[in-house]
Amino acid sequence: MKERIRALRYLVSTLAISAALSLVCLAQQAAGGQGGDRPAAAPPTTQLKDYPASRIDGLVMEWTRARDYTKEYLDAMPADGYSFKPTPEIRSFAAQMMHLAGGNLGIAVAHTGQTNPYQGKKLEEEFKTKEEVTKVVMESYDLIIAGLKKLPEAKLDEKVPAAGLNRPRSAVLAAMFEHQTHHRGQTTIYLRLKGVTPPGEKLYSR
């Protein structure tokens, strides 16, 4: 009988201690979980910057990123790879990049009011070396960026004829941004076939 009483007292004491500890833990959590040996949450080490409030500034930032990314592709391809075609029916690496540049120059003239320094030139036929192609491609991006910096933001909503529709200028600029992305992306396989690892993605890089 005495042993049963001792066992019962031990059980009650154990339950009481467990309940007390549970209450202490709950109190600490309610106070922010800072008690005991649990460390406080570390404050963030970096502070995000806001995306540009101006749509023009945002476009300038994105086109600058695209220019820098394309330059990495131009640099990555060896000089003797600029004439390379994965199959005879498609453009060479140089011609792909010249086609990209032609689109950039066209949009810079038509929608940002710039003057095409290569007006009348057949880009894909006349510029084929690494030095020539790199120069023209970089100038095509710089022309767009310079034009965007001078473009009144209200012009982005202005309707302009494009592909049979009256489109907002912003939509045309977005389509041409896709154009340069598309043709740069095509050249990834050119680099791979030449044994070159393509540049790393710069989707959100600044």
- Report the chain's C-alpha Rg in angstroms: 31
> What mean pLDDT do residues 173-179 have?
96
Please, what is the end-to-end C-alpha distance for the chain in angstroms? 80
Tell me the pTM: 0.76
Nearest to 202 by CA among 46, 55, 70: 70
- pLDDT, one tens digit per residue, over 117-172 is 999 999 999 999 999 999 999 999 999 999 999 999 999 999 998 888 899 999 99
- pLDDT, one tens digit per residue, over 48-107 is 888 888 999 999 999 999 999 999 999 999 999 999 999 999 999 999 999 999 999 999
* Domain limits, the chain: 1-33, 55-193
Q: Among 7-11, 35-39, 178-182, which stretch is predicted with the lowest mean pLDDT?
A: 7-11
Q: 55-193 — its CATH code?
A: 1.20.120.450
Question: Cα angle at 51 between 47 and 57, to 5 degrees?
Answer: 140
Which alpha helices (DSSP H) does the chain contain, by range? 2-30, 55-76, 93-112, 123-126, 130-150, 169-193
